[in-house]
Copies of this chain bind each other. A is one copy, B any other.
Amino acid sequence: MNASDFRRRGKEMVDYMADYLEGIEGRQVYPDVQPGYLRPLIPATAPQEPDTFEDILQDVEKIIMPGVTHWHSPYFFAYFPTASSYPAMLADMLCGAIGCIGFSWAASPACTELETVMMDWLGKMLQLPEAFLAGEAGEGGGVIQGSASEATLVALLAARTKVTRRLQAASPGLTQGAVLEKLVAYASDQVVATLGTTSCCSFDNLLEVGPICHEEDIWLHVDAAYAGSAFICPEFRHLLNGVEFADSFNFNPHKWLLVNFDCSAMWVKRRTDLTGAFKLDPVYLKHSHQGSGLITDYRHWQLPLGRRFRSLKMWFVFRMYGVKGLQAYIRKHVQLSHEFEAFVLQDPRFEVCAEVTLGLVCFRLKGSDGLNEALLERINSARKIHLVPCRLRGQFVLRFAICSRKVESGHVRLAWEHIRGLAAELLAAEEGKAEIKS
């Protein structure tokens, strides 16, 4: 495939992408396939001779799409959102063409420098304390990780390295093993200090936890994977109060800030805490500016050596939406979750199980776990909408998360009517069973 073939096929693919996303409402949100469905549909080995692009695109519809869970359908209310926007897709296309690997400044200066500045832009959007920003001469700064899990692991390893060195400096005889045995990682009920938990989007109080960590010299990592995006709106920023006590903070723009996966934003107050833990300097990665103190080599900030030019996605999205556009997007989702909450509250057979702060409503039928499990089973079997459950204070609970960029009040209303209808059927069937028994 040469450049001119790519011009033709690339444009066909752009149309396919637009068709897919425009028409996604017409696709069944959750697939019908059974485990193992795909293997019999494709050959057991790669072809020796090339296949045509037409064949492949046909197979996408025939083999792939029937097995896709459509995360961007306006009837997808499961897990948490994963971001999808046209500006991010355009940026990702460019990222693919440039195809640089930004492990050091020299490996592609633009890749490193745009990332540092975009992380400052985003930090300012969140009103993060100055200490987390790189600026021109700051000691802190941000980095794009692949996922919140990686950010948490990086924070843990940095904390462990730091405390181990401190203890070994104080008691030179102390072995690593002896230190490791004594280290404790404190975590809350739902996971690190968390703003917006996965189960019910609850918030740890950083103003309580923070000062204690500060006094006791404990590394405080704050994870706001989902909720963090909301902090760009002044009315939600208070949920982040106390972050000034944290050593590291991260959230995922790839969840709720329209920057396609992967883009997990992580900031630290002292970049030397990371570079101290991960520094790797073989000769083939050395470059002449390394000692200047002016530059950032992001390979010291993360586990992998390689990294894509991910900040292009942030740049495109922030510029093409503008801060106001992003805020409007967050507010719309929060508004929709409150609409769903209101529906639930109006129906005496249901209850809301956790405070609705952002885009998630946890709810259940008043009654047993079994009843709610049966309701979820009916909902997901019907394939019209897709939800997942969670467990809150021992109870089985349904989660209704506002996810799609295209979800509107009408979809939320339809979803609620559908759930109510299935609940009515279920309750009637249960009553029927009870009558037969009695």
Chain A interface residues toward B at CB < 8 A: 1-7, 9-11, 13-18, 20-22, 31, 33-39, 42, 44-51, 53, 55-56, 60, 63-72, 79, 82-90, 92-94, 96-101, 105-111, 113-114, 116-117, 120-122, 124-125, 136, 146-150, 153, 175-178, 180-182, 198-199, 254, 260-262, 282-286, 289, 292, 294-295, 303-306, 308, 312, 315-316, 318-325, 388-391, 396, 399
Contacts and interface: CB of A to CB of B under 8 A. Distances in A.
B3 A18 contact: yes
Given A10-B17, A72-B99, A283-B396, 5 more contacts: A7-B18, A9-B90, A37-B113, A64-B98, A261-B308
Given A10-B18, A71-B108, A323-B47, A101 B86 contact: no
Given A35-B292, A71-B101, A98-B68, A49 B14 contact: no
A134 B129 CA distance: 49
A195 to B, nearest CB: 17
16 contacts: A20-B97, A31-B110, A37-B109, A38-B109, A51-B320, A60-B94, A64-B110, A67-B110, A69-B100, A84-B97, A89-B93, A150-B304, A175-B181, A282-B391, A284-B390, A285-B388
Nearest to A99: B84
A46 B323 contact: yes
Nearest to A150: B304
Given A150-B304, A261-B306, A319-B47, A10 B99 contact: no
Given A16-B94, A181-B177, A6 B89 contact: yes
A35 B323 contact: no
Contacts of A42: 117
A283 B390 contact: yes
A5 to B, nearest CB: 7
Given A22-B3, A177-B180, A283 B320 contact: no
Nearest to A11: B11
By Cβ-Cβ distance, the 4 closest A-B pairs, closest first, are A177-B181, A67-B110, A10-B14, A147-B304
Contacts of A84: 96-97, 99
Contacts of A391: 282-283
Nearest to A200: B284
Contacts of A105: 35
B153 A303 contact: yes
Contacts of A83: 99
Given A136-B36, A294-B36, A320 B1 contact: yes
Contacts of A318: 46-47
A47 B317 CA distance: 11
B325 A35 contact: no
Contacts of A284: 79, 198-199, 388-390, 399
A117 B121 CA distance: 41
Nearest to A318: B46
A144 to B, nearest CB: 13
B48 A324 contact: yes
Contact of A147 (B10, B69, B87, B305): B305
Contact of A90 (B10, B37, B70, B86): B10
A96 B50 CA distance: 24
A98 B312 CA distance: 20
Nearest to A321: B50
A119 to B, nearest CB: 11
A9 B180 CA distance: 54
Contact of A97 (B50, B89, B116, B198): B89
A227 B364 CA distance: 54
A107 to B, nearest CB: 6
Nearest to A19: B3
Contacts of A324: 48-49
Nearest to A110: B67
A146 B101 CA distance: 13
A327 to B, nearest CB: 9
A35 B306 contact: no
Contacts of A89: 6, 10, 93, 96-97
